[in-house]
A and B are shown apart, each in its own frame.
Chain A
Amino acid sequence: METPFDPEIAVKKIPLVANGRKMDWVTEKVSTICEAKTPIWWWVAFLITAPTALFGVCCIAYQISTGVGVWGENHPVGWAWDITNFVFWIGIGHAGTLISAILFLTRQKWRTSINRSAEAMTLFAVVCAGIFPGIHVGRVWMAWFLAPVPWYEGIWPNFRSPLLWDVFAVSTYFTVSVLFWYTGLVPDLATLRDRTTSRVKKFFFTVFALGWRGSNRNWRHYEMAYLILAGISTPLVLSVHSVVSFDFATSVIPGWHTTIFPPYFVAGAIFGGFAMVLTILIPARILYPQLKDLITPQHIDKMCKIILLTGSIVGYAYAMEFFIAWYGGNPYEQWLFLRNRLADPWIFTKWLHLAATPAPYWWAYWCMITCNVISPQFFWFKKNRYNLWVVFPIVMCVNAGMWFERFVIIVTSLANDFMPSMWHLYHPSWVEIGTFVGTFGIFLSLFLLFMRYLPMVAMSEIKIVLPESDPHHVEEGHQEAHASAEGHH
């Protein structure tokens, strides 16, 4: 007799958790990461990242106490590494929210292995991002001007300014991300509370697990809350980088004044963010081999596909900027794209005779193109997506490329603006470089602490994707007996 068509059998799915691991395995292996004795490598890593962070803090202290003149910025380049770093870090955060919210709404079950660490990455990246707008104003004691309260003489901040929208967008983003992340953590904190033997840990987990006990009368509200948080985080994350792009797009500077910026920035943010997720998780699953059954090659493959997609969107946006510069007929914009960005010393300047001199920042532009547009194209091939020796260098390229993208947008547009008498090249000072390196120290130190003290995989969520969690699941051996007893469905 012929068996009826069953799509579940026709498309054989690779299990999301490898090696048929059970629930108790998940609990044990994830919990022991933060329960076991601190490994040596952790201390080695922390003793590198923590002093780096401290160095960054010292650079910030020096800049605040001396003045913003210790940076290389001056007219006309009034925004440089500071805002580049701000946009770079805030963009990285977006992948975490995409994984936690958008992939949840689209029922991408593979997200459960990576959402906790990606959300943590979001929070730490936004912490790093938030430093720069705060300090680049120079007089940080005036930072309260950002708040929506009347300034001196009763003058209010300008609510029609994208810079104020940005304050609201970024602070809302951080707050909502913290709430979403913590809501997801509560059931796992309860698991750790029930496992721990240390009195101190028991106290803290008891406080932060809020008395969670896996009650279905609580799960009912919890699932609704989680769905709503995912639902409101989805437009939020799209709005945040759109608002960041408004900081540029609403101005009249050639190279900034572009309607394509919001979707272009959002795609770039997700692109760069996924690269950072892989940058963190690939070493993590080597250091904790048990994670290899949870973060499988299939997960890395899917993330590489997203990098390929968003990288291609970004490449399209770069091309469209050029097209509009030519088609729009604005000579300033044409000048900017050709003479400030594109013209390299050999092909465009010498061979094609398109420019008299090479563009001052041509190397930054071509770094960006190579890293962001060309390097992800290797991900068209499955063999490359499954080879970590290919994946890791490419995601490092993407990390660098996305930083260069913001540098190109900000600095090349400002350095040679409308008045040739105002033109000025920008060079960073050691303080700017130190501050940027310091934020990597802050980011990595926070992530190391997170790995050490909190469950870095969402246990309660990953259990849902195990076959045994389905209430109608039948063990392999009983399946035939069950089917013959009930007849065909």
Chain B
Amino acid sequence: MMTATEQRPKVYGMAAEFASAGELYHAAEKIRDAGFKRWDVFSPFPIHGMDKAMGLGKSWLSAVVLCGGLTGLATAVVLEGYPSLIEYQTVVDAKPTNWATVPAFVPIFFELTILLSAFACVFALMVMSQLPRWNHPMFNWERFTRVGDNGFFLAIEGRDPKFSEEKTRALLESIGGAHVTLIHD
């Protein structure tokens, strides 16, 4: 076990900078076609079509939101139905309290569905993006501070089975990457 730990690369990966969204897009297509699995691109905004260029499918965050929404709806059904129809029927203004009054519960059904959908959405975003985190190896690279400005970066992780310091460097340079740098953990 110890030897395995020692043999692990001390580097996080190899990163390169690209001049524009278009260049990063085409670079991502080439890295995808070269068969890499553990890599990522970084940009100041979501680039249109990048998921396809990286070979990523649809985000299934929506499934979590559906579960959240259904939980909200079920909560509202129980919260309104149990006290108002079963446990403690309160007569207000001589109005009925039977099952035919269910339409009056619809607004709160709707609101709680929305509320729990929204919470599920943000929660799922955090979990699926593995956030929050306070640091990341990419932040060790001083050029990377421009990622929120106008910087376009591509990084291949050392953990990728196809990673090799010389070949990956040559590959990144051949597809137009500038400032190819080894990123340390």
Q: Answer yes or no: do A and B interact.
A: yes
Chain A residues engaging chain B, CB cutoff 8 angstroms: 22-24, 27, 148, 150, 154-156, 158-162, 164-165, 168-169, 172, 175-176, 179-180, 182-183, 187-188, 190-195, 206-207, 210-225, 228-229, 232, 235-236, 239, 243, 246, 459-461, 463-464, 468-473
A463 with B129, Cβ < 8 A, contacts A168-B108, A229-B118, A471-B21 known: no
Q: Is B147 an interface residue (CB 8 A)?
A: yes
Residue from the list A213, A219, A228 in contact with B136, Cβ < 8 A: A213
Q: Is the C-beta of B170 less than 8 angstroms from some C-beta in chain A?
A: no
Task: Decide: A224 near B111, CB < 8 A? Known: A194-B147, A219-B50.
Answer: no
**Residues of chain A lying within 8 A (CB to CB) of residue B90:** 155-156, 158
Check if B92 sits within 8 Å of A158, measured CB to CB. yes
Check if B34 is an interface residue, CB within 8 A of chain A.
no
Indicate if the CB atoms of B92 and A161 lie closer than 8 Å: yes
Q: In the complex where A219-B46, A221-B128 touch, is A243 in contact with B59 (Cβ < 8 A)?
A: no
A216 with B111: in contact, given A156-B90, A159-B105 (CB under 8 Å)? no
Whether the Cβ atoms of B135 and A211 lie closer than 8 Å is: yes
Chain B nearest Cβ from A431, distance in angstroms: 32
Residue in contact with B42 in the complex, picked from A176, A213, A224, A468, CB distance below 8 Å: A213
Q: Is the CB of B149 within 8 A of A27?
A: yes
Asked if residues B108 and A221 are in contact (CB atoms below 8 Å), the reply is no
Contact check, B150 vs A218: say whether CB atoms are below 8 A apart: no
Main secondary structure of the interface of A (DSSP, over half): helix
Q: A207 → chain B, closest Cβ, in Å?
A: 8
Enumerate B113-168 residues with CB–CB distance to A below 8 Å: 114-115, 117-119, 121-122, 124-126, 128-129, 131-136, 138-139, 144-150
- B175 interfacial by beta-carbon distance below 8 Å: no
Contacts of A211 in B (CB 8 A): 131-136
B107 near A222: Cβ-Cβ < 8 Å: no
Q: What would 14 A/B residue contacts be, using CB atoms closer than 8 Å? A: A154-B88, A159-B84, A159-B105, A160-B101, A183-B122, A194-B146, A195-B148, A211-B134, A213-B144, A225-B124, A470-B21, A470-B22, A473-B20, A473-B22
**A164 and B51 alpha carbons, distance in the complex (Å):** 44
Instruction: Evaluate contact between B59 and A210: CB separation under 8 angstroms.
Output: no
B92 touches A239 (CB 8 A): no
Closest chain A residue, CB of each to CB of B43 = A214
How many angstroms from the CA of A319 to the CA of B70 in the assembled complex? 41
Task: List 7 tightest A-B contacts by C-beta distance, closest first.
Answer: A191-B148, A210-B132, A471-B25, A211-B133, A23-B150, A160-B104, A219-B46
A243 to B134: give the CA distance in the assembly, Å: 42
- Whether the Cβ atoms of B22 and A176 lie closer than 8 Å is no
Query: A154 contacts which chain B residues (CB < 8 A)?
Result: 88
Assess whether B47 is interfacial by the CB under 8 Å rule: yes
In the complex, chain B residues whose CB is within 8 Å of the CB of A164: 108
CB proximity of A147 to chain B, nearest CB, Å = 11
Given known contacts A224-B59, A469-B45, A165 and B133 CB-to-CB distance under 8 angstroms: no
Check A221/B122 contact, CB under 8 A, given A175-B115, A176-B114, A471-B48: no
Chain B residue at smallest Cβ distance from A239: B110
Determine whether the beta carbon of A27 is less than 8 Å from that of B131: no
Partner of B149, one of A24, A221, A461: A24
Task: Name the contact of A220 in the complex, choosing from B21, B51, B136 (C-beta under 8 A).
Answer: B51
A176 vs B119: C-alpha distance when bound (angstroms): 8
Task: Determine whether B49 belongs to the interface, using a CB cutoff of 8 Å to chain A.
Answer: yes
Max chain A C-beta neighbours (<10 A), residue from B21, B48, B148, B150? B148
Known: A160-B84, A222-B46, A224-B59. A168 touches B125 (CB 8 A): no
Q: How far is B56's CA from A223's CA once the two chains are assembled, in angstroms?
A: 13
By a CB distance below 8 angstroms, the chain B residues around A212 are 131
Q: Whole-angstrom distance between the alpha carbons of A222 and B22 in the complex?
A: 21
Is B44 located at the chain interface by the 8 A CB criterion?
yes
Interface: B14 (CB within 8 A): no
Q: Given A23-B150, A229-B121, A235-B114, verify A220-B62 contact (CB < 8 Å).
A: no
| Bound CA span A22–B149, Å | 10
In the assembled complex, B65 has its CB within 8 A of some CB on chain A:
yes
How far is A359 from B175 in the complex, measured between Cα atoms in Å? 79
Determine whether the beta carbon of B45 is less than 8 Å from that of A216: no
B26 CB to nearest chain A CB (Å): 8
| Nearest Cβ on chain B to A167's Cβ, whole angstroms | 9
The answer to whether B54 and A216 have CB atoms under 8 Å apart is: yes
With a CB–CB cut-off of 8 A, which chain B residues contact A225? 61, 121-122, 124-125
Are B148 and A239 interface neighbours, CB within 8 A?
no
B42 to chain A, nearest CB (A): 5
Q: Which residue of B lies closest to A460 (CB)?
A: B45
- The chain A residue sitting closest to B23, CB to CB, is A471
Contact A165 B21 (CB under 8 A): no
